[in-house]
Every structure is written in C-alpha cells, then in structure tokens.
Amino acid sequence: MRFMVIVKATKSSEAGNLPSEERLTEMGKFNEELIKAGVMLAADGLQASSKGARVKFAGEKRTVIDGPFAETKELVAGFWLWKCASLQEAIEWVKRCPDPMPGEEGEIEIRQIFEAEELGLRFAEEKAKRLAMMHAAAQPELGDEVAAAEVGAPVEKR
C-alpha cells in the first residue's frame, strides 16, 4: 500500500521560516531510516502558500486565487510518499518522526493512495508498461523497477 504522509503548515512555516540545521539533520537521519527500510518513495518540503495559487472550478469557469491563504491549519508544508504494508505501519513510522514543527503544535496526516485496481481500471500489459515508463520518467529517482512494480508491470533488466 502507498500512503501520502502530509506535514501540515504552521504560522512559522507559512512565514517562510526554514527548519534549523539541527532539525534538518534529525529529519535527514529519519529519512535515511525510511530509505533503508524500503518505505520512502519520495519526499519534499513546500514553499509558503504566499508563493502559490489556487484554481477554483465552477463548470467551465476557472478562477485563479493567489496566495497566501488564510487557513494555515489546512495547508501543507511538506509530504512523503511511503510504501507500507498497512496504515498501522505508516502510523508507527510517523510516531518515530522528529517533531516537524518544534515550538508549535504540529500535525501529520496519513492518507492511503488509490491503486489502479481499486479504481476498477484494467491494464493490458503493454499499457501498464507505458504507464510505468512515464512514471519513471516523471520520477527518475524512483527508477524503472519501482515505477513498474507500482502498476504491476514486468521489469526489464538492463
């Protein structure tokens, strides 16, 4: 199962305050543990919402709203993509995570990602291969093998 692990924004992260060197080191060690365990697929921190925008949809109409956005507690400061055997495993990993927002009340949300078979999609082998190659091209750090495994495509060894 794959999970998106979402670090919620705080007033400090929305103000553009970067983590301390000590916090970055602690998070780096935690990320290394995730990688060694084969859990982490991707991770990144996000800029403050003042550097972003939203697009609202109402039928054919599109309205662009420039950041910053008022509801800090609803914003995302960063994320991981993890592969875990269960939600419980993802929870256990989050409980080991260094406090992402020291000095503030922080929150991390865990959401399971839909897999193709859960959406009722049926992929022919060739279509699955193409999808895996596109995914690998979009995320080269994952490599062809991980991307192919995510959609159940065979992996060609080079």
Confidence (pTM): 0.75
Alpha-carbon 64 to chain mean position: 24
Q: What confidence tens digit (pLDDT) does each residue in 50-75 have? A: 999 999 999 999 999 999 998 888 89
% residues pLDDT > 90 (the chain):
66
Q: What is the pLDDT of residue 100?
A: 92
Q: DSSP letters of 42-110?
A: EEEE---GGG-EEEEEETTEEEEEESP-S-GGGSEEEEEEEE-SSHHHHHHHHHHSPPSSTTS---EEE
Per-residue pLDDT of the chain (158 residues; tens, 9 = 90+): 999 999 999 999 999 999 899 999 999 999 999 999 999 999 999 999 999 999 999 999 999 999 999 888 889 999 999 999 999 999 999 999 999 998 899 999 999 998 877 776 655 556 677 777 787 787 766 555 554 455 454 444 43
CA distance 146 to 148: 5
